[in-house]
């Protein structure tokens, strides 16, 4: 009785395991093939792409499409390449991520350690802001930016993304700080530290994992945003997502697929780098923040 | 002259009253322990002294200054927390000097103060480490160092030993007592451990339900408990409480035990005349029930009872027996040879019985 079950148990699990890996591999390919196509074709000459063989490796390896996408491609009316728009995105994403993370940390600190009447309600309303679709705020936001004189500028986008990011960053930090021992705050109070001293000297230095989570989250969302970028900027302040769209969907001349591929990869590169560099902290931080909270 | 004065302090959270009209006067250099079961309000009282929680009513004075509405940092107190509350991101040295830095002391003076304190607590070799790299006992020392370095008017301890293992706890208890003897600083110490309370305190405040049940010396608390709660809370195993009937006789007060046995109290430290006839609660500690007694002494009542259980603990032997409905616990010598199932004589020390009002629980 015991013998067959003992021999069959590992073999079933081996079959199951093989099936599992095959399925996973298929899904993996499903996601990786487009990237592969983009990558190999970005190094081909246009003639070679027209000749078909999308999956083939380049015959005449060339980096010209990359150089073109970066600095000479026609975007809108100017042959500037993606470079100035890439910089626009950097100027937008760095302050927006920094400010929204800091405000989120401060909010989380107050909502978990300096609670006041109705703090739950305030937190609930902040959470609610995570679920408001972008489209709904377009017109009110346009009015606000107009009033502040920030319409059509990078700083306008920084403001929009900061405001939009506060909901999520507050959620992250509040849940993380909820598990943070309150006795530490009390001890610091007795030691004579004030509200901001406790925040800066005690809370922030212990917030590494959740800062990483928040930065990755905000960075990807803000970098990849198209709608706000397209709605609230003029030609000089467009982020790279909008510029890429202008590059790809320009209707005059020849479609330079190799340049488009290179440009798309360029636009996706920063988020890719952020994930690869700090991905494992991301998972760890997510667990630390959410499970204990 | 009271140094730390807690006057009519009450505290409620929404509709629950946590502290109810607390009054304690603590003299300079005194070691006062607040003890009670969990939820009795002892930690809340400590937090109000620290200023971490506001009082709903009443007043707190430290060294003649009304500090009722003063922020914690300006009360000149230091606190040791149950979880130690060491800053995880700072080294031991930084943990100890953080308060000094916040008070604007020069780096040189900080280092000097830290060196002195770490010398006293023997943690000089740990100064460069982070709290995560320390054992429980070492963390405890650092937490005390952080409090000591400020040289405050009052030390507050919030169950500082309850996270340590049993042996370390006893060692640290002795050290805290030595430290107090050396420094002479006023200490308020919260614990749920009655042995800690008895061994450390100059005076103990036994709390229950937000009320101080009794405030007195360990001797008072143990030997003259003010009510049934104090009597049964302090002491381990706890005091035996029996329902007895009293009747005034010519020779003294006749006490009828639950099993029907009677004895007469003739001479006692209790004012026998004041006892009224009828049902009361009688308390007697396990060590006042003896295996051997001087023959024919009028200070002892003898009971013939069957032993239920014998629990040897090395230094003592605990003997459990039934008296009517009540389970009784007696503490015999460690070398006692009694066996369960035996019928033996138990001798009650009549000089050390306590009577309590069955309604109010107050001592008679």
**Per-residue confidence (pLDDT) for residue A10, from 0 to 100:** 59
Indicate the pLDDT class of residue B249, thresholds 50, 70 and 90: confident
On whether both B207 and B248 belong to a single domain, the answer is: no
On whether both B276 and B221 belong to a single domain, the answer is: no
Across the interface, do A183 and B99 touch by the CB < 8 Å criterion?
no
Q: Which domain covers residue B66, as residue numbers?
A: 4-233
On whether both B222 and B245 belong to a single domain, the answer is: no
pLDDT tops 70 at residue B109: yes
**Among residues B202, B233, B264, which one ends one of the domains?**
B233
On whether both B225 and B245 belong to a single domain, the answer is: no
Q: Which residues pair with B206 in a beta bridge?
A: B35, B214
CB atoms within 10 A of CB B184: 12
Q: Which residues pair with A173 in a beta bridge?
A: none
CB atoms within 10 A of CB A87: 13
Across the interface, do B73 and A186 touch by the CB < 8 Å criterion?
no
Question: Which residues of chain B are within 8 Å of residue A200 when distances are taken between CB atoms?
Answer: none
**Among residues B215, B233, B251, which one ends one of the domains?**
B233
Across the interface, do A205 and B73 touch by the CB < 8 Å criterion?
no
Is the minimum CB–CB distance between B80 and chain A shorter than 8 Å?
A: no
* Mutation target among B75, B78, B99 for the A interface, most CBs of A within 10 A: B99
| CA B274 to chain centroid | 30
On whether both B176 and B86 belong to a single domain, the answer is: yes
pLDDT digits (tens, 9 = 90+) for B185-207: 999 999 988 889 999 999 999 99
Question: Which residues of chain A are within 8 Å of residue B83 when distances are taken between CB atoms?
Answer: 181, 183
Residue B107: CB partners within 8 Å, gap ≥ 6?
Answer: none
* Tokens found for residue A232: 């609230």
Chain A nearest CA to B153, separation (Å):
13
Kindly report the CATH number assigned to the domain that includes residue B320.
Answer: 2.40.50.140
Across the interface, do B99 and A191 touch by the CB < 8 Å criterion?
yes
pLDDT digits (tens, 9 = 90+) for B52-61: 888 889 889 8
Across the interface, do A206 and B102 touch by the CB < 8 Å criterion?
no
Q: What stretch of H or E contains B13? A: strand B4-13
Residue of B nearest to A191 (CA): B99
Chain B nearest CA to A184, separation (Å):
5
Q: Which of B52, B77, B88 sits opposite A206 (nearest CB)?
A: B88
On whether both B212 and B290 belong to a single domain, the answer is: no
Chain B nearest CA to A118, separation (Å):
14
Q: What is the percentage of chain B residues whose pLDDT exceeds 90?
A: 25
* Tokens found for residue B136: 């429980």
pLDDT tops 90 at residue B284: yes
Burial (CB < 10 A; 0-12, 13-18, 19+), residue A273, is exposed
Is the minimum CB–CB distance between B58 and chain A shorter than 8 Å?
A: no
Q: What stretch of H or E contains B306? A: strand B300-312
**Per-residue confidence (pLDDT) for residue B273, from 0 to 100:** 72
**Among residues B169, B204, B233, which one ends one of the domains?**
B233
Collapsing DSSP to helix, strand or coil, B19 comes out as strand
Q: Which residues pair with B256 in a beta bridge?
A: B245, B262
* B352 within a domain of the structure (yes/no): yes
Q: What stretch of H or E contains B329? A: strand B326-333
Q: Which of A186, A190, A202 sits opposite B87 (nearest CB)?
A: A202
Is the preceding peptide bond at B285 cis, omega within 30 degrees of 0?
no
Is the minimum CB–CB distance between B56 and chain A shorter than 8 Å?
A: no
On whether both B131 and B259 belong to a single domain, the answer is: no
**Per-residue confidence (pLDDT) for residue A64, from 0 to 100:** 84
pLDDT tops 50 at residue B244: yes
* Tokens found for residue A272: 């890719």
Is the minimum CB–CB distance between B71 and chain A shorter than 8 Å?
A: yes
**Per-residue confidence (pLDDT) for residue A287, from 0 to 100:** 56
* B362 within a domain of the structure (yes/no): no
Residue position matching structure tokens 């002391």: B105
What's chain B's length in residues? 364
Kindly report the CATH number assigned to the domain that includes residue B51.
Answer: 3.40.50.300
Chain B nearest CA to A168, separation (Å):
26
Three-state secondary structure of B125-161: HHCCCCHHHCCHHHHHHHHHHHHHCCCCCEEEEECCC
Give the angle A145-A151-A154 at the CA atoms, nearest 5°.
110
User: For residue B323, which phi and psi values (nearest 5 degrees)?
Assistant: -130, 100
Is the minimum CB–CB distance between B139 and chain A shorter than 8 Å?
A: no
Collapsing DSSP to helix, strand or coil, A27 comes out as helix
Across the interface, do A186 and B50 touch by the CB < 8 Å criterion?
yes
On whether both B209 and B288 belong to a single domain, the answer is: no
**Domain spans of chain A, in order of start:** 2-62, 72-292
Q: Which of A183, A193, A205 sits opposite B89 (nearest CB)?
A: A205
Interface of A to B at Cβ within 8 Å reads: 181, 183-184, 186-193, 197, 201-202, 205-206
In the CATH hierarchy, which top-level class contains the domain A72-292?
A: mainly alpha
Contact A179, B63 (CB under 8 A): no
| CA A276 to chain centroid | 12
For residues A51 and A41, what is the distance between their CA atoms, to the nearest angstrom?
12
On whether both B38 and B168 belong to a single domain, the answer is: yes
Contact B362, B230 (CB under 8 A): no
Residue position matching structure tokens 């308020």: B188
DSSP string, B163-193: TS-HHHHHHHHHHHHHHHHHH--EEEEEES-
For residues B199 and B315, what is the distance between their CA atoms, to the nearest angstrom?
18
On whether both B196 and B282 belong to a single domain, the answer is: no
* Mutation target among A187, A188, A193 for the B interface, most CBs of B within 10 A: A187
Question: Which residues of chain A are within 8 Å of residue B53 when distances are taken between CB atoms?
Answer: none
Q: Which of B47, B71, B98 sits opposite A191 (nearest CB)?
A: B98
On whether both B227 and B273 belong to a single domain, the answer is: no
Count the domains in chain B: 2
* B364 within a domain of the structure (yes/no): no
Across the interface, do B52 and A189 touch by the CB < 8 Å criterion?
yes
* Tokens found for residue B206: 């036994």
CB atoms within 10 A of CB B90: 17
Indicate the pLDDT class of residue B268, thresholds 50, 70 and 90: low
Q: What is the mean pLDDT for each group of 10 consecutive residues in chain A (293 residues)? A: 50 85 94 90 84 81 85 78 88 93 93 86 88 87 88 88 91 89 88 89 87 89 89 85 84 78 89 82 58 34
Cα separation values, B32 from B166, B196, B232, Å: 22, 11, 20
Across the interface, do B87 and A189 touch by the CB < 8 Å criterion?
no
pLDDT tops 90 at residue B219: yes
For residues B189 and B154, what is the distance between their CA atoms, to the nearest angstrom?
10
Across the interface, do A183 and B81 touch by the CB < 8 Å criterion?
yes
On whether both B169 and B246 belong to a single domain, the answer is: no
* Tokens found for residue B26: 């603590």
Indicate the pLDDT class of residue B33, thresholds 50, 70 and 90: very high
DSSP H helical segments within A71-207, as ranges?
A: 83-113, 119-128, 134-148, 154-178, 182-190, 195-198
User: For residue B327, which phi and psi values (nearest 5 degrees)?
Assistant: -90, 125
């Amino acid at each position: 009785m015991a013998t067959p079950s003992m021999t069959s148990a590992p073999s079933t699990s081996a079959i199951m395991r093989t099936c599992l890996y095959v399925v996973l591999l298929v899904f993996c390919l499903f996601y990786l093939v487009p990237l592969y196509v983009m990558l190999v074709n970005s190094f081909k000459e246009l003639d070679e792409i027209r000749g078909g063989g999308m999956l083939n490796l380049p015959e005449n390896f060339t980096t010209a499409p990359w150089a073109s996408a970066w600095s000479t491609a026609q975007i809108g009316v100017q042959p500037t390449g993606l470079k100035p728009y890439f910089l626009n995105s950097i100027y937008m994403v760095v302050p927006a991520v920094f400010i929204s993370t800091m405000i989120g940390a401060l909010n989380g600190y107050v909502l978990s350690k300096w609670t006041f009447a109705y703090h739950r309600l305030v937190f609930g309303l902040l959470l609610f802001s995570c679920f408001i679709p972008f489209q709904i705020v377009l017109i009110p936001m346009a009015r606000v930016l107009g009033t502040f004189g920030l319409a059509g500028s990078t700083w306008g986008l920084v403001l929009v993304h900061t405001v939009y990011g506060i909901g999520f960053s507050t959620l992250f930090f509040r849940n993380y700080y909820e598990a943070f021992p309150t006795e530490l705050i009390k001890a610091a109070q007795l030691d004579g530290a004030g509200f901001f001293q406790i925040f800066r000297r005690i809370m922030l230095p212990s917030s590494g994992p959740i800062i990483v989570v928040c930065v990755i989250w905000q960075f990807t969302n803000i970098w990849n945003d198209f709608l706000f970028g397209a709605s609230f900027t003029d030609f000089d302040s467009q982020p790279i997502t909008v510029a890429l769209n202008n590059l790809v969907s320009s209707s005059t001349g020849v479609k330079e697929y190799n340049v488009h591929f290179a440009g798309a990869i360029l636009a996706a590169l920063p988020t890719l780098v952020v994930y690869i560099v700090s991905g494992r902290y991301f998972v760890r931080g997510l667990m630390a923040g959410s499970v204990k909270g | 002259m009271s140094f730390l004065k807690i006057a009519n302090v009450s505290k409620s959270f929404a509709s629950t009253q946590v502290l109810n009209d607390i009054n304690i006067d603590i003299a300079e250099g005194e070691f006062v322990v607040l003890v009670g079961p969990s939820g009795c309000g002892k930690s809340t009282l400590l937090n109000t002294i620290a200023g971490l929680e506001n009082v709903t009513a009443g007043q707190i004075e430290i060294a003649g200054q009304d500090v009722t509405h003063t922020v914690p940092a300006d009360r000149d107190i230091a606190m040791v927390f149950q979880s130690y509350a060491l800053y995880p991101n700072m080294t031991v040295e930084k943990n100890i000097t953080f308060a000094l830095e916040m008070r604007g002391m020069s780096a040189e003076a900080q280092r000097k103060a830290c060196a002195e304190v770490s010398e006293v607590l023997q943690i000089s070799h740990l100064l460069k480490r982070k709290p995560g790299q320390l054992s429980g006992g070492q963390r405890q020392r650092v937490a005390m160092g952080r409090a000591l370095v400020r040289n405050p008017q009052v030390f507050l301890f919030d169950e500082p030993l309850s996270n340590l293992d049993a042996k370390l706890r006893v060692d640290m208890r002795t050290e805290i007592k030595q430290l107090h003897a050396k420094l002479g600083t006023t200490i308020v110490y919260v614990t749920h451990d009655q042995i800690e309370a008895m061994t450390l305190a100059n005076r103990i405040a036994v709390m229950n339900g937000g009320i101080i049940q009794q405030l007195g010396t360990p001797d008072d608390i143990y030997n003259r408990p003010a009510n049934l709660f104090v009597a049964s809370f302090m002491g381990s195993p706890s005091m035996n409480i029996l329902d007895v009937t009293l009747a005034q006789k010519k020779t003294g007060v006749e006490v009828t035990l639950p099993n029907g046995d009677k004895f007469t109290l003739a001479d006692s430290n209790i004012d026998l005349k004041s006892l009224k006839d009828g049902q009361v609660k009688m308390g007697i500690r396990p060590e006042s029930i003896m295996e051997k007694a001087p023959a024919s002494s009028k200070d002892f009542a003898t009971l013939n009872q069957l032993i239920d259980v014998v629990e040897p603990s090395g230094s003592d032997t605990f003997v459990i027996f039934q008296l009517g409905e009540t389970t009784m616990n007696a503490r015999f010598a460690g070398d006692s040879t009694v066996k369960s199932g035996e019928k033996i004589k138990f001798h009650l020390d009549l000089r050390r019985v306590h009577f309590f009002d069955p309604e109010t629980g107050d001592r008679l």
